[in-house]
Structure 1
């Protein structure tokens, strides 16, 4: 089973290694989708949604929301944001019956990145 939580955060960034309009400071309302894969525990849950929400908000959303992402990542492309999110959550969203499965970072409604822990 896959347990899913969606989040939104607003942030600004610029892409210093990119040549185009995104090299200049601009903002997005990002959508973050986090998926945990596992089997239900004795309470019948893969992961308690309240705990799931609290963990992602504390470790990721609160650090990114209304910030300039370049202060956190030197080159905050959607790809690099997804890698950063994965690193923040991988060891924490892991229990006896579940583990982090996937992170999605959407810059717009039609443009996003999916990361599943693959080695790049």
Structure 2
């Protein structure tokens, strides 16, 4: 079973190792999707949505929202953002009944990546 929680943040970046319009400073309203794979526990939950929201907010959203992502990730492509988020959350979200399954990062409504570690 998959538990899915969506988040949103606004951030700016520029892709310094890319030749095209995205090498210039610009911003996105990103959608971040966190997916946990597991089985419901004795309370009938894979993971408490409230606790998941708190963890992701503290470890990711508070760092990324209204930030210049190049200060955090040297080449902040959607791919590299997804890898960063996965590494930041993998251990803290691990429980006996579940694990981090996938991180999705959407730069626009039609363009995103999924990373499974």
* Fold similarity call, TM over 0.5: yes
CA distance in 2, matches of 1:29, 1:109: 9
Aligned counterparts, 1:13-92, within 5 A? 13-92=13-92
CA-CA distance at 1:29 after TM superposition: 0.1
Q: Secondary structure at the match of 1:91?
A: coil
CA-CA distance at 1:2 after TM superposition: 0.6
CA distance in 1, matches of 2:6, 2:79: 18
CA-CA distance at 1:93 after TM superposition: 0.7
Where does the alignment leave 5 or more consecutive residues of structure 1 unmatched?
A: none
CA-CA distance at 1:104 after TM superposition: 0.1
1:98 aligned partner: 98
CA distance in 2, matches of 1:97, 1:67: 34
CA distance in 2, matches of 1:95, 1:43: 14
User: What count of residue pairs does the alignment treat as equivalent?
Assistant: 117
The Cα RMSD (Å) is 0.4
CA distance in 1, matches of 2:98, 2:60: 19
1:8 aligned partner: 8
CA distance in 2, matches of 1:47, 1:104: 18
